[in-house]
Amino acid sequence: MVLSVVLAAFVLILPVELPDKTLFATLVLATRFPPLAVFVGVGTAFGLQVAIAVTAGSLLSLLPEALVTAVVAVLFLIGAALLWREARKGDEGEEAAAQTRENTSFPRAAAISFGVLFAAEWGDLSQLATAGLAARYAEPVSVFVGSWAALLVISGLAAFLGRKLADRLPFALLHRIAAGLFLVFAVLAVIETVRALT
């Protein structure tokens, strides 16, 4: 393992993920489930995604960009619609969310968190950056450690901050904000798709 490559991957991936959709998805998950379960599920999803990016870095660059961005746009539009629908439930939704947190087992909450983040991370900038780093440095273990460490820092902050936000802000407001952000990311993905096609 090469420490300079670990540090390079960490320093590159950390700021890429800070304003990213996965941060907001993790925040929303943490309002619905226990933070530790969310962190375990999201961290595991990130670990698998980083492993895939490192292993198949050169192959990811061969996928048509327009296809990847179009699929991402559709996923974000669906996510925005679902979040907006949740926000319309209002106070009933807050009571249901509290009950969901209490009634959802740790393995189930972790599995849901894993599934959401594993699906959302495909074609993400951090995944592509990780693949590029793996191809550039030819140090897959070092790139894996640095990239995954950065993603764990972000997911940890989001999971535990999400619970604090849930205690202070109405769920409907959090869902509307997240829906708006998902819509913005969907629009950006559509723009990227159009650019890729022209």
Count CB-CB contacts under 10 A for residue 168: 7
In angstroms, rounded to a whole number, what is the distance separating the alpha carbons of residues 84 and 91? 14
Nearest to 157, CA basis, from 15, 18, 11 = 18
Residue 62 is predicted with a pLDDT of 58
Residue 149 is predicted with a pLDDT of 95
Cα 100 versus chain centre, distance: 21
In angstroms, rounded to a whole number, what is the distance separating the alpha carbons of residues 182 and 73? 9
Residue 45 is predicted with a pLDDT of 93
Residue 99 is predicted with a pLDDT of 55
> What φ, ψ does residue 38 adopt, rounded to 5°?
-65, -45
Residue 33 is predicted with a pLDDT of 87
User: Has this prediction a pTM greater than 0.85?
Assistant: no
Q: How far is CA 149 from CA 105, 159, 198, in A?
A: 26, 15, 37
Question: 63: which DSSP letter?
Answer: S
Q: What is the pLDDT of residues 43-76, one digit of tens each?
A: 999 999 999 888 865 455 556 777 766 766 776 6
Residue 14 is predicted with a pLDDT of 81
What residue spans define the domains of the chain? Answer: 3-64+93-170
Per-residue pLDDT of the chain (198 residues; tens, 9 = 90+): 899 989 988 988 887 776 567 777 888 888 888 889 999 999 999 999 999 888 865 455 556 777 766 766 776 677 677 667 766 765 554 555 555 556 778 999 999 989 888 877 776 767 777 877 776 777 889 999 999 999 999 889 888 876 676 667 666 776 677 677 767 877 887 888 888 888
